[in-house]
Amino acid sequence: MIELTDLTFGYTQKKPIFRRLSLTLHPGTLYGLLGKNGAGKSSLLRLMGGMLYAETGQITVAGFDPARRQAAFLQELYFIPEEIYLPPVSLQHYINTMGAFYPKFNESQFRRYLTEFDIPQDQKLTAMSYGQKKKVIISFALATNTRVLIMDEPTNGLDIPSKSQFRKIVSSALTPDRLVLISTHQVRDLDNLIDAVIVVDESEILLNHSLTEISDRLLFDTVSTVTRPDRILYTESSLRGQAVVMENPAKEDSKVDLERLFNTVLTSRARIKTLFHESV
C-alpha cells in the first residue's frame, strides 16, 4: 500500500533528513509513527502525501506516485495535518462542498462519529472550540473511507475522555483494505489502538514491526532487583521497583509499553537491530 525505496530528502543538501530510507506499510494495519521532535515525522508524512518531493528514491502510495498529485490519488488519501483549518460555514455546507471530492464519503457515518464525539451539528464550524474542530476533521476523514488515512498529531487539543473516544472510533473504522498511519509525540495516546510501531531517528527507521512481533522478542516487566543484566535493554525506576525491557528468548507474554519501547529503541539501537534482524 505504501512503499518507500532508497528515499533521500532534506531541506538543504548539506543536511538531509532522510538518507536512502526504505519502508513498507501494508493495508489492514493501524500504524503508530514515533520519533523525537525534529526527527522528520511530519516531513515523512508529507512526502507520502505528495506535499514534499524526494531528492532521490521512489514513493508509491496506493499504486500512485504522490508527487504527481493525480485526482484519483487524492480521492484515495486523506491527510490530517497538525495545524487544522475549517472555513466559516455550516456543517451541511461543509459536507456538500468537501464530501463531493471523495467518492466513498458517507454522510451518515460522518454524523454518527460526530454524535459519538458529542459535537453540536447546528452551528458554524468556526464557532467551535479547537478540540471540537479536531473532532470534526477526524470524523470527516474517517467517513471519506479513503484507502490511506494519515494523521499528524491528531490528539493535540483533545481532552482525556475525547482521546478515549478517538481510540474507539478510529479502531472501528479500520478495514482490511485500509491503511491508517498516526504520527504523535504523545505516545500513550496510541495505547490499545495501533497494530504496529514505526520508530524513526537520525535519518533511519529503527523499528517497523507489529506489536505481536515486538512482544515475542521483548519482555516488558517490573522487577524488585535486576538479576539478568545481560538481557536488559532498558530500565527505569518506578514506584514498584525497576521497570525493564529485556530480551525475551522464552517468548513470555507481556503487554507492550509504548513509552518504554520508544526509549529502548533509542538507547539500545544496535541490540534492537540485532533482535529484529534489521528487517524494517
Read off the pLDDT of residues 9-51 as tens digits, 9 standing for 90 and up.
988 777 788 988 999 999 999 999 999 888 889 999 999 999 9
| Whether 235 and 149 share a structural domain | no
Domain count, the chain: 2
How many angstroms separate the CA atoms of 138 and 169, rounded? 9
Q: Are residues 116 and 239 in the same domain?
A: no
Give the domain-ending residue among 140, 172, 202. Answer: 202
Q: pLDDT-derived band of residue 227, with 50, 70 and 90 as boundaries?
A: confident
Do 38 and 155 sit in the same domain of this protein? yes
Q: What is the pLDDT of residues 68-114, one digit of tens each?
A: 999 999 999 999 999 999 999 999 999 999 999 999 999 999 999 99
* 280 domain-assigned: no
Antiparallel, parallel or unpaired: β 179-183 and 29-34: parallel
Buried b (16+ CB within 10 A) or exposed e, 100-118: eebeebeeebbbebbeebe
Domain endpoint, select from 175, 202, 229: 202
Fill in the amino acid letter for 69.
Answer: R
10 Å CB burial of residue 251 (0-12, 13-18, 19+) is exposed
Global confidence as pTM: 0.93
- Considering the domain architecture, whether residues 117 and 181 belong to the same structural domain is answered as yes
pLDDT tens profile 102-138: 999 999 999 999 999 999 998 889 999 999 999 999 9
Alpha carbon distance 152, 42 (integer Å): 7
Q: Residue 13 is part of which domain span?
A: 2-202
**Strands, E, within the chain: which ranges?**
2-9, 18-25, 29-34, 56-61, 77-80, 148-152, 179-183, 196-201, 204-210, 218-223, 232-238, 241-247
